Structure 1
Amino acid sequence: MNASIITIGDEILIGQIIDTNSSYIAKALDKIGVSINEMLSISDEKQHILNTLKQLQNKVDLVIITGGLGPTKDDITKKTFCKYFEDELVENDSVLLHVKEIIEGFYKRPITQINRDQALVPSKATVLFNKVGTAPGMWIKKENTVYVSLPGVPYEMKYLVDEVIVPKLISEYNRASIVHKTIMTYGRGESLIAEQIEDWEDNLPEHIKLAYLPSPGKVRLRLSSKGFDEKVLNEEIDFQVQKLHEIIGEIIIGTENDQPIENVVSDLLRKENRTLAVAESCTGGRIAQLLTAIPGASVFFKGGVVCYATESKINVLGVSEDLISMHSVVSKQVAESMATQAKKIFKSDYAIATTGNAGPEKGDSDVEVGTVFIAFATPNGVFSEEFNFGQPREKVTGRAVNKGFEILYKEILKKE
């Protein structure tokens, strides 16, 4: 089974909002074996919508559309559906009752005609009841293609996808299994990895595909396969992953299906009953932000300091002014002092410190733009490593954060 996903809204096309709906729908469909052929964002224009529906007719099994179901005049999806399916709008009693309960019961005001119009649906459509909003979803089949229209409001769309669409597809359609496994690697570039695993990649079975997904400081390797025996597919992919570990196991942290590296580090800290603090300059609190987004982080994360300016390193963290004058604010010595002070202040087992020139200007140091020192205070002492992550600025900070987690992970595994 294959599908196309369409988002309707000029606000997406002009960059006013980011389309997160398509990503959510794609992941949900992929999990149940529906292949995504394409994602489209189109304008709130009747003829454009009609042309798109026609172009996809009989080319895919399923078209899921989000947006344009609101109560205002610029929301034209229902009327456009009627035009395409040669249908008319009728009032649905169940939807109308639900709308009244929300407007009169929750908002405590009389229902208006605009609110009442939310209960209008094409007569040929199967109504997808939306318990968390006023706009119902619609399901219409024309020849070999099913068209599904969903509200653009993310939480309403998610409810209908999870509670209505996915169960309906599972019960009514035979689907192949799609299996993905994504291997997380840190500390080595995409081209070097490709050279190291070239023979392995060339000998992959034809039905197993490899994709490289690089980002600052890490490369994800995604293995994908499709078929009707999910158990066999998983066994085949696991076998290939085992062979991959034999080649580049030293840079593999885990699988994306498990969790990202900050979660891997947090789990290891919990397991070892260890705690962590951070002192961040060039990374601006991003390490702490990732850690505190993890539920229960207070068990292992003691706290952090964003000492961005030189004076904050001196006055808040307690780094020696003479040390900075002697070695520069971006240096091995200052990074190690920052880590040591953070470990001392927060009484943690480990501490990470970052200081560098993220660019585009040099700031308080004359070292080359892109230079970053990352220091680690551990139960056995303190050490640091120097890197040059190049440019742009976002690349520098992103790679510094990932490198900090990568080195800390390996250090904790040593178990002194």
Structure 2
Amino acid sequence: MVSTIRAEILTIGDEILFGQITDTNTQWIGAQLTDIGIRPVRKTSVGDNRQDILDAFKEASQRANVIIVTGGLGPTRDDITKQTFCEYFDTELQINAAALELVTGFFAKRGRTMTELNIQQAALPLNCTYIPNLWGTAPGMWFEKDNVIYVSLPGVPYEMKNLMEFEILPRLKSRFVTTIIQHKSVRTIGIGESFLAETIAGWEDALPEHIRLAYLPHFGQVKLRLTATGTNQQLIDAQLQQQVDLLMPLIEEYVFGFDQDELEMVIGSLLMNSNATLATAESCTGGYVASRITSVPGSSRYFEGSVVSYSNVIKMNVLGVSAEILERYGAVSEQTAREMAEGVRRTLNTTFAISTTGIAGPDGGTAEKPVGTVWIACATPHETFTQLLTLRNDRKINVELTNSYALNLLRKSILKYNPAVKSGS
């Protein structure tokens, strides 16, 4: 029988709550569960505290059919997950022969001596199903109680991912017949979330009950994520595409890609399909735009280089910005941004060039040009386009937003220069 299986992801460790490490496990696990039709309904993080962990187990069991637990399986005293499972299931630890053999082999292969703490990693709750960990010393564990499955995995991402991929996901797929959960995303830029919502309100109201919409804003972009559920993959794919086809005429000018497309990836495709090249001249972004462009594999085919012109001396001597422009209008001005883009395009002999100059913060602003004032420009073979950005007081956010807007200005400039080009994404 097809049913909706619900999962909760529980991460254990003070280091997560203290912000000493970033929890990337939950994001990855959630995506993997969704791919096999299991719906994550909550994620919870608790510290290395026995009662907190017991409470989290009990609460999660009331919401979910599957509970994925990561962390707390190390050999030191602060790792208490196994002992807490024993208390929760009213059982005790015992050395598992298969686990001990695997741990012993792990150390022998590396020429290392085992300690008593290492040996105790092979001690498992009597009622668990042992899941061999071929990538580390902390074993995986599978429990079942009152029709709820509990899976305990190491917190180390490399070990956790391998155990999930090769052991846990296949077991879950064979255990449950689930509904299909399918996502389709439309990536937009240049329109705020509230304006976007107003623009597509009629379309959103008409969505079928089994298709849900989420707005996911991120540094000047808004991702529209459609999530459909059903039992027929081909039908779901067709229904999602039908909704995208209905949506596109409403917002096509703001759409730069779909699903996993990133703006720098789309830019790369446009440049390659135009047989064009690119250079950047950056001041307030300090090379970040070039870094995003070169994060795309194969970017050497279209990206020639960058000049980080933080000082006016570099703007003048390398990019050819005139002293008169700098004196009259200042480094943060439309005129300077224009000459920076045109100068780096000329110097590096590229088809297109983009420039950034502004006051990223947290200080340096004036009454006329407060923090967050940024000018960007895009030079093409025919003309140069400029844009004034009025951003925020946060330096990091301003750099990210400037990157997004500069790349989008480039995208629109390429399309204007060569309307027939497609991104190929």
TM-score (norm 2): 0.93
Separation of aligned partners in 2, 1:364 and 1:60:
54
Aligned to 2:225: 222
Aligned to 2:79: 75
SS at match of 1:384: strand
Of residues 288, 305, 308, the one that matches 1:306 is 308
Separation of aligned partners in 1, 2:149 and 2:254:
45
What count of residue pairs does the alignment treat as equivalent?
414
Aligned to 1:10: 14
Instruction: Give the Å deviation of 1:387.
Output: 2.3
Separation of aligned partners in 2, 1:26 and 1:201:
25
**Which deviates further from its counterpart, 350-359 or 310-319?**
310-319
Aligned to 1:134: 137
Separation of aligned partners in 2, 1:393 and 1:199:
37
Separation of aligned partners in 2, 1:395 and 1:109:
47
Percent of pairs with identical residues: 44
Instruction: Give the Å deviation of 1:86.
Output: 1.8
Contact 2:380–2:417 (Cα < 8 Å) also in 1: no
Instruction: Give the Å deviation of 1:38.
Output: 0.7
Contact 1:3–1:64 (Cα < 8 Å) also in 2: yes
5+ residue gaps in structure 1? none
SS at match of 2:350: coil
Separation of aligned partners in 2, 1:186 and 1:243:
19
Aligned to 1:202: 205
Aligned to 2:63: 59
Separation of aligned partners in 2, 1:415 and 1:370:
29
Task: Give, as a single letter, the amino acid of the residue that structure 2 aligns with 1:174.
Answer: V
Aligned to 2:415: 413
Per-residue Cα deviation, 1:245-300 (whole angstroms, up to 9, x for no partner): 01111111111x23211111112222222221111112222211212222222222
Of residues 154, 168, 190, the one that matches 2:193 is 190
Of residues 41, 48, 56, the one that matches 1:44 is 48
Per-residue Cα deviation, 1:84-132 (whole angstroms, up to 9, x for no partner): 11222222333222222222222x2222211111212222211222111
Separation of aligned partners in 2, 1:334 and 1:155:
48
Aligned to 1:374: 376
Separation of aligned partners in 2, 1:338 and 1:128:
59
> Residues 43 and 191 from structure 1, CA distance in 2 versus in 1: closer, same or farther, beyond 3 angstroms?
same
- Report the aligned-residue RMSD: 1.8
2:92 is the alignment partner of 1:88:
yes
Of residues 110, 128, 143, the one that matches 1:125 is 128
Task: Give, as a single letter, the amino acid of the residue that structure 1 aligns with 2:167.
Answer: V
5+ residue gaps in structure 2? 419-425
Contact 2:284–2:356 (Cα < 8 Å) also in 1: yes
Task: Give, as a single letter, the amino acid of the residue that structure 2 aligns with 1:77.
Answer: T
Task: Give, as a single letter, the amino acid of the residue that structure 2 aligns with 1:28.
Answer: Q
SS at match of 2:121: helix
Per-residue Cα deviation, 1:129-152 (whole angstroms, up to 9, x for no partner): 211111111111111100000101
> Residues 390 and 11 from structure 1, CA distance in 2 versus in 1: closer, same or farther, beyond 3 angstroms?
closer
Contact 1:358–1:370 (Cα < 8 Å) also in 2: yes
SS at match of 1:414: helix
Per-residue Cα deviation, 1:146-172 (whole angstroms, up to 9, x for no partner): 000010111111111122211221122
Separation of aligned partners in 2, 1:122 and 1:188:
54
Contact 1:186–1:406 (Cα < 8 Å) also in 2: yes
Contact 1:46–1:80 (Cα < 8 Å) also in 2: yes
SS at match of 1:258: coil
Report matched runs for 1:211-290 at 5 Å. 211-255=214-258, 257-290=259-292
**Which deviates further from its counterpart, 380-389 or 3-12?**
380-389
Contact 1:328–1:365 (Cα < 8 Å) also in 2: no
Separation of aligned partners in 2, 1:222 and 1:151:
31
Contact 1:361–1:369 (Cα < 8 Å) also in 2: yes
Contact 1:58–1:144 (Cα < 8 Å) also in 2: no
Instruction: Give the Å deviation of 1:307.
Output: 1.9
Of residues 349, 360, 369, the one that matches 1:358 is 360
Aligned to 2:385: 383
2:171 is the alignment partner of 1:143:
no
Contact 1:95–1:136 (Cα < 8 Å) also in 2: yes
Task: Give, as a single letter, the amino acid of the residue that structure 2 aligns with 1:160.
Answer: L
Contact 1:357–1:365 (Cα < 8 Å) also in 2: no
Instruction: Give the Å deviation of 1:366.
Output: 4.7
Contact 2:6–2:64 (Cα < 8 Å) also in 1: yes
Contact 1:329–1:364 (Cα < 8 Å) also in 2: no
Instruction: Give the Å deviation of 1:56.
Output: 2.3
Task: Give, as a single letter, the amino acid of the residue that structure 1 aligns with 2:203.
Answer: W
